[in-house]
Amino acid sequence: MKEDSMNGKFEPEKMIRVDCLRFEEVLPELDRPGTPGAALREAALAHAEMCSRCGALVTEAESLDFALGQIAQATAELQAHPRIEAALLREFQRGKSMASSRRLQWQLAALVAAAAVLLVIGLSFHRPQTTAPDKTPSVIASSTAASSVRGPSEAPPATNRTITNVPQRDSRTRTPAQKRDASDSDATEYATAYVPLPYAYDPSELEGGAVVRVVLPRSALISYGLPIEGMGVSEQVTADMVVSQDGTPQAIRLVREVNSKSDD
Amino acid sequence: MTRGTELIDDGLLLRRMIAGDQDAFTLLYRRKHPAIYRFALHMSGNCSVAEDVTQEVFMTLIRDAKRFDPERGTLGGFLFGIARNHLRRRWEQERNSVPLPETADELDAIMSQSRNGSGGINGRRAIPYGNGNGNGPGLGISAFPVHRDEFVSQENVSRVRHAIATLPENYREVVVLCELDEMSYEDAAAALDCPVGTVRSRLHRARALLLEKLRDAQPMRRASAVGE
């Protein structure tokens, strides 16, 4: 009750009433700010003053709080021994060095992988460049003699030479004899069999070589070790020459056009 | 710790620590380890276990800091979670080796021996009343407000400690966090990874259990509480 300043009468104080059940609910929170118990503290204590049972509960709770407070204070400043911190710092440094070495290993592995990828890419680019001429047969006309068609015995230069590049697949599957047969099927010209040149290598090494149509003086045939008896009187002779990859002549055959045959 | 370093956010410290900053780890450890150590100490009643658990918690943080997800809770809660898991694992391993002091007499012996600076009983380190590091005087029982009947006061404290040690784990956790570490309900809920309402109800139930245990043991004397 409090006195009304206007008319001097006492009015009942506006306070939430707390019964025993509610009191037991809020008792542990009376001193805990921000909880429902703290908001009802005054009303709860007022109830405890009137209720002996709840008053006894307050006494017990205070004793418990006191003991808990003592334990809390006794241990409030406790910390782990400094050796724990030292051990943890050692572990941290160890982990850091392991992480950096792991990072280094990863970087090395990435570098190796990148190098491998670059190598593969480089090889894949290099291969088409070296094999491209084989894939597309080309005809190169040249009016001058090339050293590549010269034999090691310094054969005289051929003139009006036509170089037919043989696809690699064909050269791999065909022997000079087979090439002759193919040429024989051409009805416009007559050709002899290929004759290996004296210094020729094993014909099986002619893979990737080329057949070169040359026109050369008859006297040059002698330098290739070929007999010229029984040949026509023409000064110029047409021949197919099998040339290895390094440009060395390996075999030769004489070619004559059918109409020129009749001339002879 | 200087005032400036106290202002640095836990998350920032953790990020720096993950990046390899040793000072950040040291700061984080010094900031967080006392609460973890006390929690483990109160839960186990054993200094060696508390130190082992503290070490394991921060070892886990060093090795697996990226497991912490700020969206799921606070760093403190994450560390308390690791500590709880380690404690549970220990209890499972040492189920038959009596990890907690079982009698009030043993607790009293631990407390009195630690007050006198000796090393505990049964080979276990006792709870020191200094700062735990052996550096400086620390806070001893003698630093508390002197009561007329100190013996009764110590008796009550001893009984309460024993009663806490025999509480079920869930209740002991909330008593340790909310009463002994004086955490708010919200912080305790974050540490225990449960709703605030659960913390509140567990604490009520834990206090009721403690009072029951204390009533069964011996009526508590109000005089010791109010310094009569």
Q: DSSP character for A223?
A: H
When pLDDT is averaged across residues A222-232 and rounded to a whole number, the result is 66
Contact B181 A67 (CB under 8 A): no
Residue A130 pLDDT greater than 60, yes or no: no
When pLDDT is averaged across residues A158-165 and rounded to a whole number, the result is 44
**Chain mean pLDDT for chain A:** 70
Spatial separation of the C-alpha atoms in residues A63 and A27, rounded to whole Å: 13
Share of chain A above pLDDT 70, in %: 61
Does B144 lie at the interface with A, CB-CB under 8 angstroms? yes
Residue A154 pLDDT greater than 90, yes or no: no
Spatial separation of the C-alpha atoms in residues B165 and B180, rounded to whole Å: 13
Q: Which among A62, A93, A100 is the nearest to B222, CB-wise? A: A62
Q: What is the pLDDT of residue B94?
A: 75
Residue A51 pLDDT greater than 70, yes or no: yes
Q: State the best of A70, A91, A93, A100 to mutate against chain B, taking most chain B CBs within 10 Å.
A: A70
Strand (E) or helix (H) holding B172: helix B169-174
When pLDDT is averaged across residues A236-262 and rounded to a whole number, the result is 76
Q: What is the pLDDT of residue A205?
A: 58
C-beta contacts of A159-164 below 8 A and 24+ residues apart: A159/A215, A159/A216, A160/A214, A160/A215, A161/A212, A161/A213, A161/A214, A161/A215, A162/A212, A162/A213, A162/A214, A163/A139, A163/A210, A163/A212, A163/A213, A164/A137, A164/A139, A164/A210, A164/A211, A164/A212, A164/A213
Beta bridge partners of A237: A216
Spatial separation of the C-alpha atoms in residues B105 and B108, rounded to whole Å: 5
Share of chain A above pLDDT 90, in %: 4
Q: State the best of B222, B226, B228 to mutate against chain A, taking most chain A CBs within 10 Å.
A: B222
Q: Which segment of A78-82, A105-109, A249-253, B132-136 scores lowest on mean pLDDT?
A: B132-136
Spatial separation of the C-alpha atoms in residues B35 and B80, rounded to whole Å: 9
Find, among B217, B221, B226, the residue nearest to B107 by Cα.
B217
Spatial separation of the C-alpha atoms in residues B92 and A249, rounded to whole Å: 90
B residues 103-122 near A, CB within 8 Å? Answer: none
| Contacts for B18 with CB less than 8 Å, ≥ 6 apart | B65, B66
Contact B22 A80 (CB under 8 A): no
Q: A53 vs chain B: nearest CA distance in angstroms?
A: 15
Which pLDDT band, with edges at 50, 70 and 90, does A5 fall under? very low
**The pTM is what?**
0.55
Residue A111 pLDDT greater than 60, yes or no: yes
- φ, ψ of residue A164 to 5 degrees: the values are -105, 115
Q: What is the pLDDT of residue A75?
A: 82
Q: What is the pLDDT of residue A155?
A: 43
Which pLDDT band, with edges at 50, 70 and 90, does A46 fall under? confident
Residue A171 pLDDT greater than 60, yes or no: no
Q: What is the pLDDT of residue A153?
A: 42
When pLDDT is averaged across residues A201-218 and rounded to a whole number, the result is 73
Residue A147 pLDDT greater than 50, yes or no: no
Note the ipTM here: 0.71
Residue A35 pLDDT greater than 80, yes or no: yes
Contact B54 A84 (CB under 8 A): yes
Residue A242 pLDDT greater than 50, yes or no: yes
Spatial separation of the C-alpha atoms in residues B228 and A65, rounded to whole Å: 16
Q: What is the pLDDT of residue B86?
A: 92
Q: What is the pLDDT of residue A194?
A: 82
Residue A176 pLDDT greater than 60, yes or no: no
pLDDT per residue as tens digits for the range A187-209: 577 888 888 877 666 656 566 67
Q: What is the pLDDT of residue B54?
A: 95
Q: What is the pLDDT of residue A10?
A: 39
pLDDT along chain B (228 residues), means of 10: 66 89 92 92 88 94 87 87 91 67 46 46 37 33 41 76 90 92 87 90 92 75 45
Q: B89 vs chain A: nearest CA distance in angstroms?
A: 20
Which pLDDT band, with edges at 50, 70 and 90, does A150 fall under? very low
